[in-house]
Structure 1
């Protein structure tokens, strides 16, 4: 069955894209959709079984098992969150400041968000946030607004100090220390690496730089960001080595697509993430914010 073998080949290509850290942007971009390619192995298995082509089915079964193994961490909950203190985090890309900031603020209020990380924060968007009353909910902030998608910000329910903007990144990437009344000092990162497109080498460098910054940070850490990378990028999974975990992985909700929200049938891939070190997660969901091509992510962490 030619169709079955073509589907199996698609599944094998998806596995290769998933497991290898690529140096060419075409392959790195294709890796964003590796899980879609992998579905070919499962479809091939079904076709071979229907056709009673047992040897071919056995080959497809092995490939399907590897596919399942590659995706299990995102689909299987990582136990139950132990007792602790809950901190709610919201991550949102504002699309060059065009997003409906009132919708962002309404979510902050409804979910009683404690930490808000923003990308593509322009000065006009920040002005709208001030006018909407963001500081009534999140009175502490470290913001670096800018045009062209560079701007970023961290807002907090609790005092922030030691704000830093990291050098070397094309877009603004931030860190601050939040002083929580029960947990003490918590580190908050906001990350926005460049997309893995024309300047693919820069994306590789920035992902490695993010990994180094995370590895160097002791204590409890909260991370919100538009990583411009999916779980199927080896460079993103490298961030999860050691003590860091993706909140979506912890609760087993799968890839949680967030981009592009404005395309037919979208979003297709999950690039907006909340990570945590020294804690667990009890709930993660994505939601639509009018005016932006990214879904926001709200994660309830247990620290």
Structure 2
């Protein structure tokens, strides 16, 4: 046997012994890639879905996590040289990035105006630590505080911890069963309204800011979608109508029981309202749940602004509740 024939036999043997990219390893990659692409595609679909079907609404809370699988799917298809599948993965990856882009890219710088610090906190049926709330508000120089799940007993304990000294003005509707809500301010409040037709208490008041004048403040808490997805959808739709009808500068704090990936929540932001986290490009800013080892993983506590911009946002652990508090430094544009 010649040297050339021996070399050719060795090459054939090596090709047989070494699985090709289209061999069984390739098929494992293809199956894994399609699994990831289907998951990512489902995430994109959930992001844009307007359905009130409860399983879809709950799944949409994790849509952004599903979209992450688009990237490994794209890499697997490219490695295994499945070019048609690679092209499809590029489309899905682009759609996923497009859906999340507003939360990942800062929306410019804030124009001149009046700064105000807003704090938002859900205190889980009144179990949140009053001392921690007051400390966080004081340390962050909060001027407005919105609270959900405010009970009468918790209100007493908050005042005992120093809340009344920090925020001498308030408009509250405390109650049990998670219904209670409150607006607290360093500056005078007037024209308080508790909106009818909601399962939980949703409030509005006008704050008289010493440098900016009247500023509308909302404390919002639509019902969770658990077993009530259709009601949840209707309440978010009504909240959008209420916000749209409000003129002038507006500050909104709330537990929206919805994430950026829920279309009814994003409908609140189609007009002149903006999410502070969106303006700053800090992504989801997860706030719930904090009472489990693997949380928080979704952001449902939000601060919105109309007629201004955001300068800074962060979250704080409040013992006793399953929500992180959110503190946003906002700037109200000059009138």
TM-score bracket, normalised by the shorter chain, equals over 0.9
1:64: which partner in 2?
93
What are the Cα deviations for residues 56-80 of structure 1, in whole angstroms up to 9, with x where unaligned?
A: 2221111101110000000000000
> Matches of residues 111-130 of structure 1 in structure 2 within 5 Å?
111-130=140-159
> Matches of residues 186-197 of structure 1 in structure 2 within 5 Å?
186-197=215-226
1:216: which partner in 2?
245
2:263: which partner in 1?
234
1:165: which partner in 2?
194
Say which one has the larger Rg. Answer: 2
The number of residues matched between the two structures is 303
What are the Cα deviations for residues 190-235 of structure 1, in whole angstroms up to 9, with x where unaligned?
A: 0000001111111111001100100000000000000000000000
For the residue of structure 2 that corresponds to 1:77, the secondary structure is: coil
| Aligned mates of 2:225, 2:302 — CA distance in 1 | 16
2:67 paired residue among 19, 34, 38: 38
1:206: which partner in 2?
235
1:77 paired residue among 74, 84, 106: 106
> RMSD across aligned C-alpha pairs, in angstroms?
0.8
| Aligned mates of 2:217, 2:326 — CA distance in 1 | 16
TM-score by length of structure 2 reads 0.89
| Aligned mates of 2:76, 2:187 — CA distance in 1 | 56
For the residue of structure 1 that corresponds to 2:236, the secondary structure is: helix
TM-score by length of structure 1 reads 0.99
> Matches of residues 1-303 of structure 1 in structure 2 within 5 Å?
1-303=30-332
What are the Cα deviations for residues 147-206 of structure 1, in whole angstroms up to 9, with x where unaligned?
A: 100001000010001111000000000000000011000000000000011111111110
| Aligned mates of 1:23, 1:279 — CA distance in 2 | 32
Segment drifting more, 84-93 vs 48-57: 48-57
| Aligned mates of 2:265, 2:149 — CA distance in 1 | 21
| Aligned mates of 2:175, 2:166 — CA distance in 1 | 23
Q: Structure 2: 5+ residue runs without aligned partners?
A: 1-29
| 1:49 Cα deviation after fit | 2.3
For the residue of structure 2 that corresponds to 1:63, the secondary structure is: helix
| Aligned mates of 2:316, 2:137 — CA distance in 1 | 12
